[in-house]
Chains A and B, each alone.
Chain A
Amino acid sequence: MKELWSIFNKGLILENPIFVLALSLCPALAVTSSVIVSLTMGLTVMFVITANNTVVSIVRNLVNPKVRVPVYIVSIATIVTVAQLVLQAYLPDLYKALGIYLALVVVFAIILARAEVFASKNGVIRSFCDGLGMGTGFLIAMLIIGAIREIIGSGTFLGIQVMPASYNAPLMLVLPAGAFILIGYLVAGCKMLVQHIEKSKA
């Protein structure tokens, strides 16, 4: 149990997919201009990465190592298509807001990387925990970025006005340039946090 917790745990900060591993940065910048959109994207990726890790771990002994990457890609693409169809049917507005980035979940480096590095070598339960942990880390990062950009950039949170009416929102943070600069500082902040954790452990 403790071992499973530590597998889950490492995706949150120490190996956070966005801030530390710097994989799958495209969605972290492109679909975080509001909280609700980043929440949807985060949950979708969490679902895809957990499901894919489970599938890969189940079939890991049946697949010839030479063709493993195409097999992983087919599995990821199938799961993403399922997510796409579900969102299109039940949440059409969010489906439109995510646009092309939803289809591009297929090629997120983090999903393929977890399949290759972890799920192809570990059992089903451990792979499931790893996927869930990485997915949660991704979701948290997306929510942090989304919240900062929405609160500061447009003065709202989940569409509700939180800043006083006289607040003059800097448009900069909603624009692409603001996203790049914000993530630059967040990456630096996370680096300091990781160093602090490692120092206190040692």
Chain B
Amino acid sequence: MEYLTLFISAVIVNNFVLTRFLGLCIFFGVSKNVNASVGMGMAVTAVMTLSSIMAWLVYTYVLVPFKLTFLTTVVFVLLIASFVQLLEMIIKKHAPALYNMWGVYLLLIATNCVVLSVPLLNVESSFSLAKSIVHAIGSGAGFGVALVLMASLREKLRLADVPKPLEGLGVAFILAGMLALSFLGFSGMISL
């Protein structure tokens, strides 16, 4: 039950994009068509979950025993960046079809706030390993949901008549604002 609440809260109530403002670069960059958003959502979820596991192990068994917790940021950034590079090589070698679908997104993810923030939040809230995994999957799913919603809205928007200065980024922000407003409705659902 506890895990289910954590999962739902990560997907909807504390949605990464719409209430925590993380991963906005990807959010506005990729949300131009629905197919790309689905791919990106999946890639982010996978990378987030795997790097949360690794970061948790490194934090618990290396940083804490050796009293190096002040190096958390440096270690996590390097860990994630090198892990993503490795993952890219492995996928390219063993699953070329998968690479053709999602390969482009992997490099974008390597140094991104949304992937770095989940391990940091896990450590900050001192989650256990199982909780960290649930939190990571939930956050990734929430990111994907927001991305797909936004992409669908923007596909509709192409036919709309937008005032000149608002075109592009301006109207995308306002749209995201409306989306955030509707997600606000979920905020009372679960109290953590």
Contact = CB atoms under 8 A, between A and B. Distances in A.
19 contacts: A25-B24, A26-B21, A30-B20, A69-B81, A73-B111, A103-B73, A103-B120, A106-B74, A106-B111, A107-B77, A108-B113, A175-B184, A176-B180, A177-B184, A181-B178, A184-B166, A184-B172, A184-B177, A185-B170
B83 to A, nearest CB: 12
Interface string B166-192: 100111111011101100100000000
A158 interface: no
A73 to B, nearest CB: 6
A104 interface: yes
Interface of B: 18-25, 28, 70-74, 77-78, 81-82, 111-113, 116-117, 120-121, 124, 163, 165-166, 169-174, 176-178, 180-181, 184
Interface stretch (A56-64, A76-84, A131-139, A149-157): A76-84
A104 B22 contact: yes
A188 interface: yes
Nearest to B29: A22
Given A184-B176, A185-B174, 7 more contacts: A73-B78, A84-B73, A183-B173, A184-B166, A184-B173, A184-B177, A185-B170
Contacts of A191: 165, 170
Nearest to B116: A107
Interface of A: 22-26, 29-30, 69-70, 73-74, 77-78, 80-81, 84-85, 100, 103-104, 106-109, 112, 175-181, 183-185, 187-189, 191-192, 195
Contacts of A192: 165
Contacts, number: 118
B109 to A, nearest CB: 11
Given A177-B181, A180-B174, A189-B165, A70 B81 contact: yes
A109 B29 CA distance: 13
A184 B170 contact: yes
A81 B70 contact: yes
A77 B77 contact: yes
State the 6 A-B residue pairs at the shortest beta-carbon distance, nearest first: A184-B173, A180-B177, A181-B177, A184-B174, A188-B170, A177-B181
Contacts of A108: 113
B113 A177 contact: no
A106 B73 contact: yes
Contacts of A107: 77, 111-113, 116
